[in-house]
A and B are shown apart, each in its own frame.
Chain A
Amino acid sequence: MAKYIGKEMSRVDGVAKVTGKAKYAAEFQVPNIAYGFIVQSTIAKGTIKTIDTSEAEKQAGVIRILTHENAPKPGPKNSSEAKPETGSRVEDKSFRALASDRIFFNMQPVALVLAETFEQARYAARLVKVSYAEEKPSTDMEATKNTAFNPNPERAPKPRGNPAQAFASAPVKVEAEYTIPIEHHNPMEPHGAIAFWENDRLTIYDKTQGVFTVRRHLASSFDVPDENVNVVSPFVGGAFGSSLRPNYYPWLVSMAAQVLKRPVKLIYTRQQMYTGNGYRPHSWQKVALGANKNGKLQSIIHESVNNSSTTEEYLENITNFTRSIYACPNVDTPQKLVRTDLATPCAMRAPGAVTGMFALECAMDELAYAVKIDPLELRLINYTDVHPDSNKPYSSKALRECYALASEKFGWKNRKFEPRSMRDGRLLVGWGTATGTWGAFLQSATVKIVYKADGTALVTSGASDIGPGTYTVITMIAAEHLGLPAERVKFELGDSKFPRAPSQGGSWTTASVGTAAFEAANNIKQKLFDLANKDANSPFKTAKIEDIELMNGKLQLKNNQSNSVNVADLMRKNSLTEIVEQHESKPSPERQKYATAAHGAQFVEVKVDPDVGTIRVTRVVEATACGKIMNPKTSHSQEIGGVVWGIGMALTEATEVDHRFGRIMNPNLQHYHVPSNADVLNIETMFVEEDDKIVNPLGVKGMGELGMVGIPAAIANAVFHATGRRVRDLPITPDKLL
């Protein structure tokens, strides 16, 4: 019987977070600190002609103002491929600010004011005068779609079958275009860092999803070995992908600290977060579905175009899951990007998947109405138990069970098929469904466990916890398999001095770092077992390691717990105060024989005001199948949060660009609408657990992104059912329903 795994546990860092003891990057106390404030460009494209810092420099407290004219330059040192004007390196193309006089996007940093206080820096920053040779920016992807291209055509998957021919000859056809505007992550904690140098060694407290990524970025920028850079990031106040890449501020703050020879703190304002840490790109999609009259898919052609910057080629993997989610013999999924004079996009919760599944699952709904088949039934008709590209079976796939459970709970069978056929008083009621999916990814990860004779353990790994509950779940896994009470196990993360872990992205942390913790704990058990068997009187002489468990400070036989050895005694006898185990886990070769993914089914009710077009998501029932649920409490939080993100994407969120200026005009939380509490009504999340030891020994699949993937489509489909209106351009604001 598991003591912790699969049981609800409150966050082990919860008290620290609500009492302020948990330190976020910019909260570390460092003596003699200087404050930076970024001056941003007011044009989107062109060249800086002059920067006049004279008035700003006169202000009280101002220490130094760095611009491209006086700031040290990052690489490249010996490379012809990298771009000096963006400061990019061959192996790390991310944008580094103040590298040149070129402007690549609006609100690009053009100066960094350093002062004794934040307010002094901010005020002086307003007084820096910049003149430009301005060029006409191109930021409207919809207007320049004809320039779209695929930067890596050789990597693009080949069409399956003959999609064009199959579509042409299909008796039923659905063809539609969908757009999603730029969206921003908007975590609560603004991005920020504190950096200081001790000789040629750099320490940076940073908000990041990956301490090793930032370490490499900075080591490469300063041409120092990785081990000279220490990145510390114990707590992250939300990130959602916006801290997967290094962003431009770690370079700026570290460079400033080097120039001033004193610690520097730099924090984005909310406005600066709209060009300083990436965003979900604008996307256009076209879906063509060809089917038999009975709804069986014959052809799917799903095209996508997303905007990128001029400095990097960011191709969002939008159509990926279209290849796998339905049985269909003929599929093509071409992806392209358009260069725009905007900052580079990046991963944002369920990147590509939620975008692509919005279009595909809305198109499936359109097909359901074309063939007059219930939308859920249509999905079951096209269900697949294998990945149609490889024909490999899924290691586990309980999507069918998710459909059944969630539809039953929702009451889907009472749905009337015709649009505008259900009402609540004067409100139009709509019920919609969609499918969600995400990968069951696994990365190599290393965990170190120090098991002490006093019955405590310290577990470390350079992982990140941006909110899903990583501190808690790794503590649970280690406690379970070390046989210790959870309160005697301490897990530390977020430090590049710790053993290497993957960045927290892709929903792979619990699977990857958890597996390493599990295997490291097992190795400690093995060491103790071997130690016990050195003794001639060991009760385990004839036992195998599989027969042994580590529990309550004892090594014992599973089927005869009175046959045991007290671990503390055993260690004392061997003059050991601690046993140290550092272990790297790797995906098994077995995984390669299978397709792996997590799935979910979403059912949504909306109520639409027929007069003024306001939409309320009154009910969401979501069932997800993502392997073993380690901690139901934090797991439900992840799925509920995913649903809320889906509501925002469907109904409220949009970053608005004035294309005349190439400038984002709503970079704040009053104009950019994330859902408010009042927008979030009944959400019920359920899990269909899968017993899958192929994905990894713990049977864990990711869930942090999965929960939102089908939601925007389910809402849009529900709005259609309520109103008879297909809105294919998100967000669905009231004006679009008049």
Chain B
Amino acid sequence: MKPFKYSRSNDADSAVKTVSGNKSAKFLAGGTNLIDLMKEYVERPDELVDITRLNLAQIKSANGGLSIGALAKNTDTANHPLVRQNYPLLTQAILAGASAQLRNMATNGGNLMQRTRCQYFYDIAMPCNKREPGTGCGALEGINRIHAIFGYSDKCVATYPGDMANALYALDAVVRIKGANNQERTVPINEFHRLPGENPEKDNNLQHGELIVAIELPKNNFANKSYYLKVRDRASYAFALVSVAAALEMNGGNIKNSRVVLGSVAHKPWRSTEAENALNGKPASDATFKAAAEIALRDAKPLKHNAYKIELGKRAIVLALQRAMNGGAA
């Protein structure tokens, strides 16, 4: 890997200041993705600011909801009593990802920042606009079984690969960010990640040097009826072919409020408000679920090797909604 300067920061302000002052500096938290990419020469920072000692790991009640520190470990987050009780969808999503060892290292902020698993992005000998703008997209006409069916451009067909964020979309999370000059701002989760468009090198809307400090979850009524379904090539330690974060709030026999978020189908978690609208006010029946699933996948455009994702996505939505209805049990 490229030689780099390493420093450990003790306060968030100075960490932000240091990274803001150097265009090729990066924050280092769990390192589970960044270090791998540095070894492969995909990421080439010349400075790493280690933020693991910052006081950003608390998980606490806030404003009727929950504030989850950016540096809380994935494992600790998934198993926190308030998360398990009020946001079991988040627990399920986190535990569906990676391996126990990785979850013990990985942080929540880092999880949002993880980069695509597109094979062309990982190989510096191959064209990739995300890694090296202007070189082309290797996957567009290449091996693209795990790639996007929504929202891609001819510049990039990569997907956001994570699990946690899919649940966060369903839970209306807000990302709290610290920028230069000690300013904090908040971004709704669905405005955090980007579609590739003309600039696939940008995964999200963070400015360079900005630091995620917390993820805030508002109160909701989904806890009794939510489910995270992940379909993958093996039972563990694989990225999703398709995943679904589903949540329902009932009013008698009818659905009052709902969430349908697909993962691994686009450059960001893909929430289908159309599908949710098709569910809301309807009885929670298989027919309702199927109709919503059809709507959710209606505008999907497959690539050469991933057409299966359309049918799989529909089936996964129905199954996830059935299980959500069943109290989140498989």
Contacts and interface: CB of A to CB of B under 8 A. Distances in A.
A678 B119 contact: no
Interface string A649-685: 0011000101011010110101101011111000000
Nearest to A610: B315
A738 B311 contact: yes
A663 B123 contact: yes
Interface string B196-207: 000000000000
A123 B119 contact: no
A673 B315 contact: no
Contacts of B41: 126
B231 A676 contact: no
A660 B142 contact: yes
Given A119-B1, A673-B234, A676-B237, A42 B143 contact: no
B138 A658 contact: yes
Interface string A119-138: 10011001000000000000
B295 interface: no
Interface string B114-134: 000101101111100000000
Interface residues of A, number: 34
Contacts, number: 88
Contact of A123 (B1, B145, B229): B1
* Interface range for B: 35 or more
Contacts of A616: 235
B56 interface: no
Which of B40, B234, B238 gathers the greatest number of chain A CB atoms within 10 Å? B234
A738 B316 CA distance: 11
Contacts of B122: 668, 671
B3 interface: yes
A612 interface: yes
Given A122-B1, A673-B233, A612 B319 contact: yes
A734 interface: yes
Given A612-B315, A738-B312, A671 B119 contact: yes
B141 interface: yes
Contacts of A613: 231, 312
Contacts of A656: 119, 143
Nearest to A667: B123
A663 B40 CA distance: 16
B233 A611 contact: no
A60 B138 CA distance: 34
Given A673-B238, A735-B308, A735-B312, A612 B143 contact: no
Interface in A696-711: none
B241 interface: yes
Contacts of B78: none
A538 interface: no
A574 B125 CA distance: 71
A612 B322 CA distance: 13
A443 interface: no
B143 A665 contact: yes
Which of B2, B119, B239, B316 gathers the greatest number of chain A CB atoms within 10 Å? B119
A42 B135 CA distance: 15
A660 B137 CA distance: 13
Given A652-B234, A663-B123, A675-B234, A738 B1 contact: no
A228 interface: no
A733 B233 contact: yes
A123 B241 contact: no
Given A123-B1, A660-B142, A663-B126, A735 B241 contact: yes
A614 interface: yes
B112 interface: no
Interface in B125-170: 125-126, 138, 141-143, 145
Nearest to A120: B3
B236 interface: yes
B302 to A, nearest CB: 12
B319 A661 contact: no
B143 A734 contact: no
Contact of B319 (A271, A611, A735, A738): A611
Contacts of B2: 123, 126
Contacts of B117: 670-671
B318 A611 contact: yes
Contact of B235 (A126, A612, A678): A678
Given A612-B231, A735-B308, A677 B236 contact: yes
A677 B234 CA distance: 10
A738 B314 CA distance: 11
B235 A676 contact: yes
Given A611-B315, A612-B316, A665-B119, A658 B234 contact: no
Contacts of A733: 233
Interface string A710-736: 000000000000000000000001110
Contacts of A671: 117, 119, 122
B123 A665 contact: yes
A670 B239 CA distance: 8
A658 B142 contact: yes
Which of A119, A611, A666, A677 gathers the greatest number of chain B CB atoms within 10 Å? A611
B245 to A, nearest CB: 15
B82 to A, nearest CB: 28
Contacts of B145: 735
Contacts of A271: 40
Contacts of A614: 231-232, 235
Interface in A45-96: 60
Nearest to B242: A612
Given A660-B141, A676-B234, A738 B315 contact: yes
Contacts of B143: 656, 658, 665
Contacts of A735: 145, 241, 308, 312
Contacts of A673: 233-234, 238
B126 A679 contact: no
B48 to A, nearest CB: 15
Q: Which 3 A-B pairs have the closest CB atoms?
A: A678-B236, A735-B308, A42-B125
Given A652-B233, A660-B141, A665-B123, 13 more contacts: A126-B41, A611-B318, A614-B232, A616-B235, A658-B126, A663-B125, A671-B122, A676-B238, A679-B236, A734-B312, A735-B145, A738-B312, A738-B315
8 contacts: A60-B3, A611-B316, A665-B119, A673-B233, A676-B236, A679-B234, A734-B231, A735-B312
Interface of A: 42, 60, 119, 122-123, 126, 271, 611-614, 616, 651-652, 656, 658, 660-661, 663, 665-666, 668, 670-671, 673, 675-679, 733-735, 738
Interface of B: 1-3, 39-41, 117, 119-120, 122-126, 138, 141-143, 145, 229, 231-239, 241, 308, 311-312, 315-316, 318-319
